[in-house]
Structure 1
Amino acid sequence: MIDPVFLDTPLYRCEALESRLGCAVSVKLETANPVRSFKARGTELVASLLAGSGQQAVVCASAGNLGQALAWSGRGRGLDVTVVASRRAPAAKLDRIRALGARLELVDGDFEMARERAAAIARRDGVRLVEDSLDIETCEGAATIGLELVEAAPSFDAVLIALGGGALATGIGHVIKALAPGVEVICVQPQGAPAMTLSWRERRVVTTGSADTIADGVAGRFPIPAVLDDLLLVADDAVLVREESITAGMRLLLDHAGLVVEPSAALGVAAVLEDRDRFAGRHVVTVVCGGNVDMDAYRRWTGG
């Protein structure tokens, strides 16, 4: 069901990063596709199933990347796509959602407010609500990354995964634990948006009053209980990183890998920067999960 353009994304050792990080580093590059993030692996499944069942419309809340992916997948299958997002979302992501033909509704609050509005629209109009990380298709889409990792790089010791709503971490995590159980699954979140990490550590849902991070793609405040249950099954660790480590990771990926990434995609590198001893001498894979970023902000963060 997934368009091949989103599959078999590049995976390679990045030796230029290794001297800086003190460990062997492989990059799984999920920006090399038409929506520049991993999200379309899941929206391709959603849109295919909806089109096959005769449904015409779908709505989602998005920090930006899911909306782009659903718009792309829906456009190719004749679906009427509505995306609800925060006005504070990066303009580059909002512009791309519009360009892909989706109806975009903006709310004044954060992502959690957008989620509430999307649910209200679904109830009002009787259309399918796509809930990232809760809908199994979004997790199954991410799980295909895990299949590709296991098939192509069976010798790695740990995989570093950005943790937001949880689809990426649970999808990849279930595959890794089933097919390569010796590999450590490490989830990474910003200190300014720690809700899912705190929930994992306490084994219960922990919400936060705010989310303050440049990594907008993972800035949720209300973890979904069912997703946390999945995460507790597959994550070996969940760590929090500082904002300065995220921007340092973005600079390293630019200077030594030639990659322009959004902050969420640099979380894995940030985790290594903050705990070099833990990863010394090991082979880690970091999933570069998105590259949709406002360039003015990017230049401020990276000093470019």
Structure 2
Amino acid sequence: MKRNKMITLDDIKRAKKNLEGISYNTPFTKAPFLSETYNSEIYLKKDNLQLTGSFKLRGAFNRVANLSEEKKQNGVVAASAGNHAQGLAFAANYFNIEATIFMPEATPLTKVSGVKQYGANVVLTGENFDEAYAAAKKFTKEHNKEFIHPFADDDVIAGQGTIALEILESNPNLKQIIVPIGGGGLISGIAIAAKAINPDIKIIGVVATGARAMKESYRSQMPIDSTSVRTIADGIAVRDVTPKLLDIIIDYVDDIVEVSDNEIANAILFLLEKHKLVVEGAGAVSTAAIMHEKIDIEDSEVCAIVSGGNIDVTMISQIIEKGLVKSYRKMNLIIKLMDKPGSLTKLTEIFKECSANIVQIDYDRDSIKLEFGEAQITIALETKGEDHQKQIRESLKQNGYKFKQI
């Protein structure tokens, strides 16, 4: 017996009408590399290609579209880690109303800029979403504005549920939909719509290990808030659990799994390299759950929600660099040698003979840790795999070098 009757398939269909001509019916395409590796038909729903770079446009626009004219004129307020903010800013701009968005101080610049480009006022405050949320609620009350919650709102949930309508129109035979979970609005909307169309479909949620309150609450069947959150998936870095959304998730969701930041980073790099998709941390968790075998998907038809693509370029750079090292395509070494003419030339000849390309080099002869007459080289090499790196290490040892791989 379903306990929550507040949001129906009809509500989600009405949201779809509100979004006609506004949100994209984003690509739903097979993921060939994932499908081949995991012996399943795996599809990606690419809402990272949505108009504002995230699914959040759907819920925010539907909420604003349903406001009375009086409430529209008073202006709207939101708290957001970034994607809801951009969606609401776009909606406010579309309806020509004022929007004030409270965002955590650590919000990536790309998301802050994305909000400002639609003309919204941005207030950076707090260390996480929940602190920004408290400030936004206070401002709303003091200035008689309309607060637009990023997930605990029927119209917002209904808007997010339109993703499920598009997915099942594309493939009615799906067996599972894998969905990121932060506050729970996305998975609630998708689950309500999908289960109404096909009660046998499985809905699997994915949280980040550093923001696992919803998973713990789901297991315990009662709200359990986290004391802190820390994850590269800032879009799902939610500390507190909303009881209403937990009720929906308990009713409609079949399981919740978690992925670590390293697993999320692996998925970001995989999607970038293999599928040419720029995806933020929250948008990559569904793929990460498949890649790291957190879900039983063999011989099934599965859709992973790619929920957003608003990732800071500095984060992409870090993920790429670490990914290259982990996959043995980059090798970082600290090497000691004699500080005299020709020493560096002799060292680089070894790398030349091993066909290793030098991409960065730093020469230090002044460190107090060095003996007089010694120098220390920090060098980065492009390499061709684990065996190639082993060959380089053996060559250095044979030539008498002391070194450390970092």
Task: Calculate the TM-score normalised by the size of structure 2.
Answer: 0.72
In structure 1, the residue matched to 2:316 is 298
- Which of the numbers 161, 168, 179 marks the counterpart of 1:143? 161
CA distance in 1, matches of 2:294, 2:37: 10
Unaligned 5+ runs, structure 1: none
- Which of the numbers 85, 88, 96 marks the counterpart of 1:70? 88
- Which of the numbers 33, 38, 42 marks the counterpart of 1:16? 33
Label 1:9 to 1:202 Cα distance change in 2 as closer, same or farther (>3 A): same
- Whether the 8 Å CA contact 1:5–1:33 is kept in 2: the answer is no
Alignment pair present for 1:45 and 2:45: no
- Given residue 199 of structure 1, which amino acid in structure 2 is its aligned partner? S
Unaligned 5+ runs, structure 2: 1-17, 325-406
Label 1:33 to 1:274 Cα distance change in 2 as closer, same or farther (>3 A): closer
CA distance in 2, matches of 1:183, 1:224: 25
In structure 1, the residue matched to 2:8 is none
Label 1:277 to 1:64 Cα distance change in 2 as closer, same or farther (>3 A): closer
- Given residue 188 of structure 1, which amino acid in structure 2 is its aligned partner? V
- Given residue 42 of structure 2, which amino acid in structure 1 is its aligned partner? V
In structure 2, the residue matched to 1:87 is 105
CA distance in 1, matches of 2:165, 2:295: 29
CA distance in 2, matches of 1:21, 1:301: 24
- Given residue 115 of structure 2, which amino acid in structure 1 is its aligned partner? I
1:58-92 superposed Cα distances (whole Å, 9 cap, x missing partner): 00000000001100110010110000001111111
In structure 2, the residue matched to 1:100 is 118
Instruction: Calculate percent identity across the aligned residue pairs.
Output: 28
In structure 2, the residue matched to 1:214 is 232
Alignment pair present for 1:244 and 2:251: no
Q: CA RMSD in A?
A: 1.5
1:54: how far off?
5.1
1:4: how far off?
2.3
Task: Calculate the TM-score normalised by the size of structure 1.
Answer: 0.96
The structure with the larger Rg is 2
- Which of the numbers 174, 193, 196 marks the counterpart of 2:214? 196
- Given residue 169 of structure 2, which amino acid in structure 1 is its aligned partner? E
CA distance in 2, matches of 1:139, 1:122: 21
In structure 2, the residue matched to 1:120 is 138
Label 1:142 to 1:134 Cα distance change in 2 as closer, same or farther (>3 A): same
1:53: how far off?
4.5
CA distance in 1, matches of 2:21, 2:149: 24
- Which of the numbers 171, 183, 200 marks the counterpart of 1:153? 171
SS of the residue corresponding to residue 31 of structure 1 reads helix
- Whether the 8 Å CA contact 2:181–2:207 is kept in 1: the answer is yes
- Which of the numbers 25, 34, 40 marks the counterpart of 2:51? 34
SS of the residue corresponding to residue 137 of structure 1 reads helix
1:177-231 superposed Cα distances (whole Å, 9 cap, x missing partner): 1111111100000111001111111110001111010000000111111111111
Label 1:60 to 1:112 Cα distance change in 2 as closer, same or farther (>3 A): same
1:155-181 superposed Cα distances (whole Å, 9 cap, x missing partner): 121110000011100000011111111
SS of the residue corresponding to residue 233 of structure 1 reads helix
In structure 2, the residue matched to 1:55 is 72
Label 1:137 to 1:84 Cα distance change in 2 as closer, same or farther (>3 A): same
Label 1:284 to 1:66 Cα distance change in 2 as closer, same or farther (>3 A): same
SS of the residue corresponding to residue 20 of structure 1 reads helix
SS of the residue corresponding to residue 156 of structure 1 reads coil
1:77-113 superposed Cα distances (whole Å, 9 cap, x missing partner): 0110000001111111011111211000111321100
